[in-house]
């Protein structure tokens, strides 16, 4: 497949990888904001209506215009500070929609060749749990660090969003790891000795059990494979040893672990997750301003989905913001 690159001003947008760079630096951009940018850039010079954007970006869900505005604000902020030329690349055409005003140059490049190809029998990735709110910076850092660091551990308290982030990352990283992305949930594993066989099963391989790690290493070899080890906290020592051995005997394998505790493995690079961003303490709370906070957006989505007719408005916005603060994001 050809990879499309679009250049405008100091920016480079890579469609296949869904990444936006400014002067070679990866920018943190949420998935929906990227979709919006992609549509506007493709139709540069035209006015794209709010309805068209909403239908294209959120095809199967009912989404309020507010949601589009929140993502548009985030997108413009990434392009540049308010009033700057790059921020103004997206013009608001009152009553009609948005228009991308910068000149766009298109380029098509061949993707880098994959390793030896996918191994047959790989278990498909689990579906992401739903929309991911915030976490653009963590996802961008992860994508930027994993190829060189090779072993990244996402750490944080229970329920903070480690699995959510790693599932979203697995999806984004499919292009960087063309030989396969494998997700292994270690939560159900009671015996630390079973870590390697859980990975072998996810790789769809039947191995003899005596030298499992070397057999795995021989199959992976120089393939560009990403192994995600989710919920490692109860088997950290076994995972650390397994990761060290496997990384030493392969060349392009990447491993992302999620764990409430560090693995303390050699070469481990740690990405600590902080709580979701909260609304500002002194902001004057309208529903619109509070929705800038990912913690509030998650609350509103879950409360609406729970039924009972919850409607987020200016009256309950300060209370919701307070609950989010008390729950620490
Ligand atoms: N950024 C987010 N956007 C949407 N939902 C989120 C986000 N972060 C967390 N959640 C939701 O919060 C719940 C807990 O998140 P998750 O399972 O990712 O946490 P965790 O850190 O992996 O927890 P544990 O340590 O128990 O494995 C899930 O229902 C998840 O969907
Ligand atoms: Mg988890």
Instruction: Select from 30, 129, 130, 184 the residue to mutate for testing ligand 1; criterion: most ligand atoms less than 8 Å from CB.
Output: 129
- The sign of the CA dihedral 51, 52, 57, 62 is positive
Which residues of the chain are in CATH 1.10.10.10 domains? 3-108
For 94, the enclosing helix (H) or strand (E) is: none
CA distance 100 to 89: 6
| Distance in angstroms (rounded) separating the CA atoms of residues 66 and 313 | 12
Distance 106 CA to ligand 2 centre (A): 40
Take residue 267 and report the two structure tokens written for it.
């070469």
* Residues near ligand 1 (Cβ within 6 A): 129-130, 132-135, 156, 158-164, 231, 260, 276, 294, 298
Provide the CATH number for the domain formed by 3-108 in this structure: 1.10.10.10
Residues 6+ apart with CB under 8 A from 204: 119, 120, 121, 122, 123
Give the model's pLDDT for residue 1. Answer: 41
Q: Where in the chain is the domain with CATH 3.40.50.300?
A: 136-272
Q: pLDDT value at position 149?
A: 92
Structure tokens at 161: 């969003």
Ligand closest to 164 (CA) is 1
CATH of domain 136-272: 3.40.50.300
The pLDDT score that the predictor gives to residue 14 is 87
Which residues does residue 109 pair with via DSSP β-bridges, in sequence order? 3
Instruction: Walk along the chain (329 residues) and give the pLDDT tens digit of each residue.
Output: 455 789 999 999 988 778 899 988 889 998 899 999 999 998 999 999 999 999 888 877 777 788 899 999 999 999 999 999 999 999 999 989 999 999 998 887 655 455 566 777 778 788 777 788 989 899 999 998 999 999 999 999 999 999 999 999 998 898 899 999 999 999 999 899 899 989 988 887 766 666 889 889 988 988 999 999 999 999 999 999 999 999 999 999 999 999 999 999 999 999 999 999 888 876 677 888 888 889 999 998 888 888 778 888 888 888 898 888 888 77
Q: What is the spatial distance between Cα 273 and Cα 258, in angstroms, rounded to a whole number? A: 10
Residues 6+ apart with CB under 8 A from 207: 197, 200, 215, 216
Cα–Cα distance, 124 to 121 (Å, whole number): 9
**Under DSSP, is residue 189 helix (H, G, I), strand (E, B) or coil?**
coil
From 126, 161, 229, 257, mutation site for ligand 1 pocket: most ligand atoms within 8 A of C-beta? 161
Q: Residue 226 C-alpha to ligand 2 middle, in angstroms? A: 18
Minimal-distance CA residue to ligand 1 atom 24? 158
């Amino acid at each position: 497949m050809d990879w499309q690159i679009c250049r405008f001003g100091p920016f480079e947008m890579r469609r296949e990888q869904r990444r936006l760079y400014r002067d070679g630096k990866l920018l943190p951009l949420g998935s929906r904001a990227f979709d919006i940018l992609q549509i506007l850039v493709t139709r540069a010079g035209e006015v794209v209506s709010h309805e068209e954007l909403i239908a294209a970006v959120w095809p199967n869900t009912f989404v309020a215009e507010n949601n589009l505005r929140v993502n548009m604000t985030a997108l413009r902020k990434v392009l540049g500070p308010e009033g700057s030329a790059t921020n103004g690349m997206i013009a608001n055409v009152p009553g009609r929609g948005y228009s991308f005003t910068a000149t766009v140059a298109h380029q098509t490049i061949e993707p880098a060749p994959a390793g030896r190809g996918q191994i047959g029998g790989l278990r498909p990735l689990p579906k992401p749990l739903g929309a991911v709110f915030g976490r653009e910076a963590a996802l961008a850092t992860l994508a930027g660090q994993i190829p060189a660091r090779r072993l990244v551990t996402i750490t944080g308290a229970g329920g903070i969003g480690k699995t959510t982030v790693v599932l979203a990352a697995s999806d984004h990283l499919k292009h960087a790891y063309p030989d396969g992305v494998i997700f292994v949930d270690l939560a159900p594993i009671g015996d630390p000795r079973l870590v390697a066989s859980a990975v072998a099963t996810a790789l769809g391989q039947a191995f003899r059990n005596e030298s499992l790690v070397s057999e795995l290493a021989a199959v992976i070899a120089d393939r560009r494979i990403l192994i995600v080890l989710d919920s490692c906290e109860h088997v950290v020592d076994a995972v650390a040893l397994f990761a060290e051995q496997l990384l030493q005997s392969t060349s392009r394998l990447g491993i992302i672990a999620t764990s409430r505790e560090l693995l303390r493995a050699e070469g481990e690079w740690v990405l600590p997750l902080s709580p979701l961003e909260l609304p500002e303490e002194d902001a004057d709370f309208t529903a619109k301003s509070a929705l800038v906070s990912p913690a509030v957006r998650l609350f509103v989505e879950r409360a609406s989905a729970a039924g009972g007719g919850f409607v987020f408005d200016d009256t309950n916005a300060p209370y919701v913001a307070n609950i989010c603060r008390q729950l620490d994001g």
